[in-house]
Structure formats: C-alpha cells, structure tokens
Amino acid sequence: AQSVTQLDSQVPVFEEAPVELRCNYSSSVSVYLFWYVQYPNQGLQLLLKYLSGSTLVKGINGFEAEFNKSQTSFHLRKPSVHISDTAEYFCAVRGTNAGKSTFGDGTTLTVKP
C-alpha cells in the first residue's frame, strides 16, 4: 500500500516569486510519482512524472520536481510563478506493477499580484 502526504494545504505567494509545493510518500514497493494540476471545474492535468532515471524531472508550464529516494519526497518547484498558476496541485504515487494511483489531499496555490 502507498500513502501520500502533501505538507501544505495552502500556499500563498506573490507573482514572480519562486514556489515549492512539498510531497512526501511512503510505499513498500517501487513507485512512479506524478504531479497534477486542477483548475476550477476541470479534471486533472499531468504536470510531470518520475518513472526512472534522472531524479530531476521537468514538466509543463515551467514546473520541475526532484525525486529524493532517501527522504521519500517529490517536491514541486517553479522559479517564478504567474497569476495563471493559481490552482490546486496534487501529488500522486503508483506502484510500478499496479494500476491505481494514490493521491495526496492537494495544495491550493494562490498567486497574488
């Protein structure tokens, strides 16, 4: 079984400032890791994924995340946020042999002008 903890439920930040959204996970098996973004009244859109290889992964909209196996973390970062980045962000984990994903509770990112 897997579990995901998103350490911040809300993150307010000013436009053009850097941001980090934190995600820790636990699992007894090897996992794939994902970050999704959800805008109001929409489904989830994949931002980036870690499957294997390089621990630093780059995604869409300027986001990147670093997989840290020893700390079981997969934090999401962006060096400069825009108003349009205001949304809810979900970290998810999936066992490498399993189909279902386990999601964190989400982090609401609010970018202020």
Q: Which residues bind another protein (CB under 8 A)?
A: 32, 34, 36, 41-46, 49, 51-52, 90, 95-106
Q: Which is nearer to another protein, 97 or 113 (CB)?
A: 97
Joined tokens for residue 92: 């998810």
Name the residue type at position 85. Answer: D
Q: Shortest approach of another protein to residue 88 CB, angstroms?
A: 10
Joined tokens for residue 63: 């986001």
Q: Shortest approach of another protein to residue 73 CB, angstroms?
A: 19
Contact 21/88 with Cβ under 8 angstroms?
no
Q: Shortest approach of another protein to residue 81 CB, angstroms?
A: 23
Q: Which is nearer to another protein, 15 or 86 (CB)?
A: 86
Phi/psi at 61 (5° precision): 60, 25
Phi/psi at 38 (5° precision): -130, 120
